[in-house]
Each structure stands twice: as C-alpha cells, then as structure tokens.
Amino acid sequence: MARQVVQRAKEAFLSGRTRPLEFRLQQLQSLQRMITEKETEICTALKQDLHRSQYDTPLLELISIENELKLAMEKLSEWASRRPVEKNLLSLSDEVYIHPQPLGVVLIIGAWNYPWAVTLLPLVGAIAAGNAAVVKPSELSEHSSLLLRALLPRYLDMELYPVVMGGASETQELLRLRFDHIFYTGSCAVGRLVMEAAARYLTPVTLELGGKSPCYIDKNCNIMVACRRITWGKFVNCGQTCIAPDYILCERSIQGRVVDCIRQTLLEFYGIDPKSSPDYGRIINRHHFNRVVGLMEGYAPVLGGQSDPSQCYIAPTVLRDVPPHSRLMQEEIFGPVLPIVTVSDMDDAISFINEREKPLALYIFSSDKKAINKMMEETTSGGVTVNDVMMHYTLSSLPFGGVGQSGMGRYHGKHTFEQLSHHRACLVRSLAMENVNLSRYPPQDRRRARRVKMALKSPLIDMSKRTLVWAVVATIIGCALFITLMVILLVAAGLNCTCWYWRGFYN
C-alpha cells in the first residue's frame, strides 16, 4: 500500500508538473486556504490530543505556518531563480550560475507535540522547492493526524502530496522504500533507525531531534523578568516542546529567588489551580505521563508535583538542588518538570554544558554583555536565545536545527527551501574561442603549462547584475563629478581669461 502511494508520487513528480512556479504557488495558496478555513477544526483536534486551548494552537502552530506560507509565496520566484556566481578569466564569456532544483520525493515524518507545525512547515518548503512529498503524521496525535489525512487531499494534489497513516510498523515499511530526502522530527531512538534506513539508498536526511536545552541564569540579571519568560517557555504545551528550557543552571545564592519568581509567575499565568485553567495543557498519553512522573520519583518538588493519571495531568513542577547525575538529568524531560542545578559560577556552568551532548537550544540570562559573549563563544548548540526562551524559533530568517545529537540539517523560511533543493553547479560555454583552450591540451610544454596556471589562478570577478549596475552607476557618478570639477576649474580660470579679454576689448 505504502509502496503504491510512493510510486504514484514518484511518477507524478517525474511528469514534471511541480516544476512550473505557478503550480507550486497554487498549491501553497491552497494550503493557506486550508489553514484559514479549518482553523476551528484544527483547534478542536488539538484540544482532544493535547488539551490545547483555542489560543495556544494559533499561537504555537498556526501563526508560524501562516507566516511560512506568506514568505514562501512572496519569495518563491527569487529563491527558485538562477544564482550567478563569480567567474574567472577563462569563464568570462560563459554563463556561470547555481540552479536550484527539486530533489524528488521527500518523506516527512511528523511529531506529536506540534503535529501541524512540524509536519506542515517542512511541507511548505518541499512544495516551494518543487518536490513531491509523502507526509507521515505521528500516530500519537491521533485526532490531528486523522484530520490532516482528511483535509490535505481536498486542498493539495493527492498524488504529489499523499498522507500515509500508521504506527511504528507502517513507518518501518515506508523506510524500506527509496526517497530523495527524509525529513524527520522526533526522538533520537527513532532518528537513528531513520538514518540507518537511509543508508541503504544513500538518502540525505534532516533530523530534528531534541536533547536537554540548558537555561543559565546569571546572578547579574533581572531575575523576575527572566523567570517569567522561562516559565512561559517551560510550561507552554505542558513542557512538551523540543526547545523548552529543560533545566536551569544558577548559583546557589539566587536559587531561592528563582523559585519565588517562578511561583509568582505560575500564579499569574494559571491561577491557584492550574488543573482548572483552560490555558494549561495535558501530557499526550499515559505512557509519557508515567515516564515523566517516574523521573520525579525520589525528589520532593518545591513547587507543584501533583498529578492525575485519569487526565494525564501533571502540575507545573519545580525541583531544586537536583544532583547532576540524577535520572532527571540523564534524559530529555519533555514535560512540565523543571529541575534547578546549582553551579559555582559561569565557568562551572559552561563546563557543565560542555560535558553533555550538544543541545538543540541554549538559553542565557544575563545583563553582562561580556558574560553573554563568553558563554556563546565557549559552548555550542543548535540555536541560542539570550534573555528569553524559544524566540529564535519564531524568526524564519534564522535557521532552525540541531547539531551533534540534537540533529542535522536546518529549516524555516528560505532554509527549508535550500535544505530540500539540489544546488546544481552550471557552466554554459560555447565552442568558440577554442584557441584559448589550446594551452591545456597535450602535448604539453612549459609555456602551455604556465598559461594554464595563470588562467586558473586568475582572480574571481563578480559579474552579477547587481555588481554591474553598481559599477555603471559608480562610473557615471564618478564621471559626473569629474566633469563638474573640470567645469568649475575652467569657469574659475575662464572668468579670469574673460575678464582680461573683455578688459582688452573695451580698452
């Protein structure tokens, strides 16, 4: 079944109908209509999946999809056009450019925490780049997947962008087939299986994984504002965000203040009983509920800690003085549990971060620019937001992706288009001026070798339209200034001459 669907997508791609930009734009416009027209149904599905509020869904998912679509539609002709590059002396009369081309059939495997954003954002880039795409939403966000399967064929080309449903075994079946790119969002364990499967056909992959994103709070910062921002990022979607601040690192002297500020913020956000707040979510299913609750075992939380298995509810929970080698610090929490680990100073925090896997995101709260620079220079991560959390995700001009165990590849905005395109190097020559080529042919001698060396070593010249326009404008301005200067000098000199002349005349 999956084989037939993929084969149909491949044939549809080979028919060439994704190549014209008009087709791609039309598909993107349809997708936009789908998001606008079906917002209510999408919110309902997410309410059933994750207990999301009607505001959380647009805030966390739909706004980003809408923005990506608008950007892609506006910029598509620019992104897809040929990109001239610098030439050397040998290629001065040739056309030298990079031609972005679609890869073919892309497999997009979505995740359950933001089932619409992590599935449709790559799809926007895949469509814009001219690919076909097989979409495999996560079976855990059941209502959203069923809705996606119902809606997508109504708005998009069914053959080019099919939706394949199922769990682990259906995904395994899909991974046995050949794709031109696999875009996966999810856990490291499955990410490994995806990459192993991709090895069979040497398929390039983009892996958006996760990890423990550290959040360092410097003692020199506005702790109240920092805690408010961290609290928002940590407990939105009930902590089930790949770039949620996973744990806090701070000095012991400010730990108490941090806890108080978070307590105050939680009260502001969710009231005295978060369980009854319409803005507080739930854990996706019982398995993950048990996993998160299990992580807290043996620790007495300083805030929250309550849970209700019947609703998969876990209260916003904070734990202090968490030992670095505890179970809580071994795996990504992916839930509303926020451990605080104390460090002696910033250097200690940097060592702590560097001893662990490269995270997907790093958060630094400090008012000291030097300290911020130091931390950025001496650590690495997929992305970093300073004095806030998660916001680097919201800007489509920034590439979103991991490094090391947190993933490979990047997307958002133009970066998705680039990730799902092939940049074909093109050199279009003519058969004229063959004499120039004679130096490179055998039989070889020293003179020929020297000529070839010089031609090869000639500096690269930027012959792009923009540079040419600037060169022409600069030349015109330069000439105009020169002429003006000459006129001024001549007039100045001429005035004297004419004075003499006229004096002579009248005399």
Partner 1 sequence: MYLCHLPTNTWSSSSFTACRLPSPSHLNSQLVSKGSEPSTCFLLLIHCPLVDAHQPKFEAVLSEVDILLNDLTFTISNLSSWMQPESASTNLATKLDDCFIRREPLGVVLIIGSWNYPLQLLLLPMVGAIAAGNCVILKPSEVSATTGSLVAELVPKYLSQECYAVIRGGAEETQELLKNRFDHIFFTGSKGVARSILQAASLHFTPVTLELGGKSPCVVYGPVNMTAAARRLVWAKFFNAGQSCVAPDYILCTSSTRDLLLPALKEALWEFYGEDPRTCPDLCRIVSPQHWTRLRALLEKTRGRIVIGGESDQEDKYMAPTVVVDVSEDDALMAEEILGPILPILSVESVEEAIALINRGQKPLALYVFSEESSVVKTVLEKTSSGGFCSNDGIVHMTLPSLPFGGVGASGWGSYHGRWGFETFSHRRACMLRGWALERFNTLRYPPYSDGKLGWLRWTTSAHSLMIPLI
- Distance between CA atoms of residues 111 and 269, nearest Å: 27
Site pattern 64..103 for partner 1 (x: CB under 8 A): --xxx-xx--x----------xxxx-xx----x-xx-x-x
Count of Cβ atoms closer than 10 Å to residue 310 Cβ: 6
Ranges within 349-368 binding partner 1 (CB under 8 A): 351, 354-355, 357-358, 367
Site pattern 129..148 for partner 1 (x: CB under 8 A): --------------------
Whether the Cβ atoms of residue 361 and residue 379 lie closer than 8 Å to each other: no
Ranges within 260-279 binding partner 1 (CB under 8 A): 268-271, 277, 279
- Find the catalytic residue in 227, 242, 250, 261: 242
497 in active site? no
Question: Which residues, other chains included, contact 377 with Cβ-Cβ below 8 Å and sequence gap of 6+?
Answer: none
Reduced to 3 states, what is the DSSP secondary structure of residue 228? helix
208 in active site? yes
User: Which of 334, 214, 220, 317 has the alpha carbon at shortest distance from 275?
Assistant: 317
Choose one: 115-123, 283-291, 387-395, 472-480; the region binding partner 1 (CB under 8 A): 387-395
Nearer to partner 1, 162 or 382 (CB): 382
User: Which of 346, 138, 131, 152 has the alpha carbon at shortest distance from 249?
Assistant: 346
Binds partner 1 by CB under 8 A, chosen from 61, 180, 208, 332: 180
Q: How far is the CB of 450 from partner 1 (least distance, A)?
A: 11
Reduced to 3 states, what is the DSSP secondary structure of residue 379? coil
Nearer to partner 1, 342 or 406 (CB): 406
Choose one: 161-169, 308-316, 406-414, 498-506; the region binding partner 1 (CB under 8 A): 406-414
Ranges within 182-221 binding partner 1 (CB under 8 A): 188, 191-192, 195-196, 198-202, 204, 207, 209, 221
Cα angle at 74 between 62 and 205, to 5 degrees? 65
* 392 binding partner 1? (CB under 8 A): yes
Nearer to partner 1, 446 or 503 (CB): 446
Ranges within 455-484 binding partner 1 (CB under 8 A): 456-457, 460
- Distance between CA atoms of residues 223 and 227, nearest Å: 6
Q: How far is the CB of 341 from partner 1 (least distance, A)?
A: 17
* 18 binding partner 1? (CB under 8 A): no
Whether the Cβ atoms of residue 313 and residue 335 lie closer than 8 Å to each other: no
Binds partner 1 by CB under 8 A, chosen from 394, 475, 484, 498: 394
Count of Cβ atoms closer than 10 Å to residue 280 Cβ: 25
Whether the Cβ atoms of residue 258 and residue 227 lie closer than 8 Å to each other: yes
127-153 burial: b if 16+ Cβ within 10 Å, else e: bbbbbbbbbbbbebbbbbbebbeebbe
Total residues interacting with partner 1, rule: CB under 8 A: 114
* 25 binding partner 1? (CB under 8 A): no
* 322 binding partner 1? (CB under 8 A): no
Residues with a catalytic annotation lie at 208, 242
